[in-house]
C-alpha cells in the first residue's frame, strides 16, 4: 500500500511518509473493572516512526498488545493495510507482516545469536517436512536464502563478533540488539518495539536509536514503538501519541506534543482531576 493520499507528507530529512498502514479506531479495552484504554483512535503511516508514550500505567503495553492482535478490545476496531483484524494466532500475526520485540527480552538464552535470529525466519520456511524428507533441494535452497537474509542482518546490526555466542552470556544491550535482529529477520511491514530503551545505559540507548533510524531508512520498515522515556523517543519519532490513564492526551509531531499543556502536566506529575 502506498497510496500517496492527500495527507501523505515529507519529513524534514526528506523521507516520504505514505498512506495509513494501520488505523486504530475508538478502541476501549477493559480488564474487569479496570479500563486500560478508553476510546482511543490514531493511525500509523507507511514508512514512519510512530511512538506511543505515557507515564506508568498509561495503557501503552495494553495498546501494543491490541495492535499486535494479542488482546481483543471490547469496543472499536483495527484496520491493517485496509483490512479489519479479527482474533488471530501469533503465527498468523507474523504472516500478516507484523513482528515485535518484548520489554522483557524473549530470546532462547542457550542458543547462539545466529540461531536466535534464524528463528525469526519461520514464516518464510515453506518446504513441507515430507518434501524435505524425499527431496532436499527445495529445503536446501530455502535454508541458503534464509541464511543470506540473516547474515545481512548480522552485518547491519554490527554483531558479527557475537554470532556464535549463546545470547544468555551477552550484556543486556546486545541481547536487545539480537532481539531486534530476530524481529527484522521476519522482514516485517510493521515492526513493533516494546520499550526498546528500557534498562539501557546512555551509550546503549544511543546505539539502539541509531539502529531504529537505520532500519527505517535502509529497509523502509514502518516502526511503532512504546516507550516510557520521553526524551529519546522525541529525537527519533516522526509522530507521537501520548496516553495518560488510558486516554489519549496528545498526538502530533514531537514539537507539537512537547508544547501540549496536558502532556507537560502528565510528565511533570501535576495533579489530575
Please state, in angstroms and rounded to a whole number, the distance separating the CA atoms of residues 80 and 90: 15
Considering only residues 213-242, where is the footprint of ligand ATP by CB under 6 A?
Answer: 228
**Size of site (CB under 6 A) for ligand ATP:** 12
34 in contact with ligand ATP (CB under 6 A): yes
Q: Is 127 exposed, middle or buried (0-12, 13-18, 19+ CB in 10 A)?
A: middle
Which is closer to ligand ATP, CB of 163 or CB of 228?
228
CB of 102 to ligand ATP, least distance (A): 12
250 in contact with ligand ATP (CB under 6 A): no
Of 84, 3, 45, whose CA–CA distance to 224 is shortest? 45
CB of 57 to ligand ATP, least distance (A): 4
CB of 87 to ligand ATP, least distance (A): 16
Which is closer to ligand ATP, CB of 40 or CB of 184?
40
Please state, in angstroms and rounded to a whole number, the distance separating the CA atoms of residues 215 and 227: 18
Binding mask 38-67 for ligand ATP (x = CB under 6 A): ----------------x-xxxxxxx-----
What is the maximal distance between C-alpha atoms in the chain?
69
Question: In a 3-state reduction of DSSP, which class is residue 91?
Answer: helix
112 in contact with ligand ATP (CB under 6 A): no
Q: Take residue 273 and report the three cell numbers written for it.
A: 482531576
Please state, in angstroms and rounded to a whole number, the distance separating the CA atoms of residues 229 and 136: 49
Q: Take residue 220 and report the three cell numbers written for it.
A: 523502509
Considering only residues 120-139, where is the footprint of ligand ATP by CB under 6 A?
Answer: none
Phi and psi at residue 138, in whole multiples of 5°? -65, -45
Q: Which residues bind ligand ATP (CB under 6 A)?
A: 31, 34, 36, 54, 56-62, 228
Amino acid at each position: 500500500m502506498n497510496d500517496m493520499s492527500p495527507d501523505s507528507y515529507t519529513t524534514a530529512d526528506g523521507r516520504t511518509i505514505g498512506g495509513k498502514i494501520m488505523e486504530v479506531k475508538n478502541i476501549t479495552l477493559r480488564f474487569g473493572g479496570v479500563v486500560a484504554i478508553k476510546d482511543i483512535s490514531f493511525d500509523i503511516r507507511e514508512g514512519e516512526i510512530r511512538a506511543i508514550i505515557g507515564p506508568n500505567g498509561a495503557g501503552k503495553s495494553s495498546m501494543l498488545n491490541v495492535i499486535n492482535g494479542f488482546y481483543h478490545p471490547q469496543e472499536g476496531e483495527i484496520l491493517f493495510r485496509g483490512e479489519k483484524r479479527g482474533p488471530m494466532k501469533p503465527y498468523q500475526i507474523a504472516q500478516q507482516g507484523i513482528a515485535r520485540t518484548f520489554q522483557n527480552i524473549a530470546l532462547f538464552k542457550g542458543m547462539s545469536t545466529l540461531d536466535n535470529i534464524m528463528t525469526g525466519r519461520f514464516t518464510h520456511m515453506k518446504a513441507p517436512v515430507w518434501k524435505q524428507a524425499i527431496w532436499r533441494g527445495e529445503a536446501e535452497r530455502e535454508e541458503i536464502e534464509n541464511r543470506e537474509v540473516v547474515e545481512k542482518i548480522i552485518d547491519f546490526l554490527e554483531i558479527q563478533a557475537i554470532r556464535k555466542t549463546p545470547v544468555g552470556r551477552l550484556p543486556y544491550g546486545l541481547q536487545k540488539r539480537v532481539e531486534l535482529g530476530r524481529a527484522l529477520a521476519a522482514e516485517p511491514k510493521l515492526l513493533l518495539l516494546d520499550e526498546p530503551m528500557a534498562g539501557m545505559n546512555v551509550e546503549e540507548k544511543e546505539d539502539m536509536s541509531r539502529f531504529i533510524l537505520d532500519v527505517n531508512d535502509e529497509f523502509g520498515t514502518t516502526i511503532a514503538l512504546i516507550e516510557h522515556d520521553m526524551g529519546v523517543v522525541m529525537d527519533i519519532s516522526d509522530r507521537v501519541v501520548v496516553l495518560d490513564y488510558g486516554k489519549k492526551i496528545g498526538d502530533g509531531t514531537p514539537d507539537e506534543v512537547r508544547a501540549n499543556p496536558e502532556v507537560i502536566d502528565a510528565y511533570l506529575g501535576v495533579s489530575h482531576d
